[in-house]
Structure 1
């Protein structure tokens, strides 16, 4: 009696293809239960003491009808929810807000260029500002981490949400307070 017959069956009973499929399924089951891969704790920061940090964010082109009212809300509320990479990262305190002037480059007769206030009327509804935010973060070798999972670095876009506002900003400075 042959080990493999003309139809590809082992000892005339079991197909080699069926045996191969069963072996692959067995390997998948072993791989799932005995070697599950990297642990899910990769993004979790070791329990270190949280230190206070200050984060400066730049808000460009914020369309707002009552800019002074928004600045007053920053002074009255003092807290905002922060969202980093579409994931909530807790609350931060708004330490200060500094409006930036809207200017335009104006060539001068002598060939130089001066930055002068933008005369266009629609610019009064578009504002730029720098906000300084305070919060607590764990300091790791890779930088400051808010809410145990969200790294805060220069250039990261964040979203600030308050009672009457919800806008995006970009981190321009991160300072760890001692």
Structure 2
């Protein structure tokens, strides 16, 4: 019996194209399950967790009554967290610190002073620092929160019943027990 017949089949049973496709499929499945990145992420999830506080800067949040919105958020004491478009879940809200809106005003002596912004539309805009607290996985190059590395500058969204807005991380502090 010939190894290849007239139709290109191996030993009269297997097509060379089907055999090649089968080998590629087995290699792809093996690559998925034996990938080193998969074992690394599983190891990160099962490791020790550490209490962490994260400061998030919210710039230019526009709301009809920012003070009432922040009072509502603070009363809820928890918020849903989205890190780099990956939902994390609920996280504790520690504090909300509104920042004053100011404008630089040139002085007659050539200096500059920061004074409260008198524009009426700025009453609807707020800059705020929000402090969150949760459990994170420490790694040699930072912290992992919800399988996403968390570093200064990481974009974050906060979502609740009546709000969804974004900001960026400005500080990460481990909390000592």
With the length of structure 1 as denominator, give the TM-score of the two structures: 0.81
The answer for unaligned runs of 5 or more in structure 1 is: 1-9
With the length of structure 2 as denominator, give the TM-score of the two structures: 0.82
The answer for unaligned runs of 5 or more in structure 2 is: 9-14
Task: Give the secondary-structure state (helix, strand or coil) at the position aligned to 2:121.
Answer: helix
Inter-CA distance 92–11: structure 2 relative to 1 (3 Å threshold): closer
Query: Aligned match of 2:28 in 15, 29, 32?
Result: 32
Deviation for aligned residue 1:172? 0.1
Query: Aligned match of 1:13 in 6, 11, 36?
Result: 6
Question: CA RMSD for the aligned pairs?
Answer: 2.5
Aligned counterpart, 2:127: 128
Deviation for aligned residue 1:100? 0.5
Inter-CA distance 21–88: structure 2 relative to 1 (3 Å threshold): same
Q: Bigger shift: 31-40 or 89-98?
A: 31-40
Query: Aligned match of 1:164 in 155, 158, 162?
Result: 162
Deviation for aligned residue 1:131? 0.6
Instruction: Output the CA distance in 2 between the equivalents of 1:12 and 1:47.
Output: 54
Aligned counterpart, 1:150: 148
Instruction: Output the CA distance in 2 between the equivalents of 1:72 and 1:12.
Output: 80
Inter-CA distance 72–47: structure 2 relative to 1 (3 Å threshold): same
Kindly tell me the number of residue pairs found equivalent between the two proteins.
168
Inter-CA distance 20–11: structure 2 relative to 1 (3 Å threshold): closer
Aligned counterpart, 2:57: 58
Instruction: Give 1 or 2 for the bigger CA radius of gyration.
Output: 1
Inter-CA distance 68–12: structure 2 relative to 1 (3 Å threshold): closer
Inter-CA distance 120–33: structure 2 relative to 1 (3 Å threshold): closer
Instruction: Output the CA distance in 1 between the equivalents of 2:4 and 2:53.
Output: 74
Deviation for aligned residue 1:92? 1.2
Q: How does 1:79-158 map to 2 (within 5 A)?
A: 79-147=78-146, 149-158=147-156
Instruction: Output the CA distance in 2 between the equivalents of 1:161 and 1:133.
Output: 13
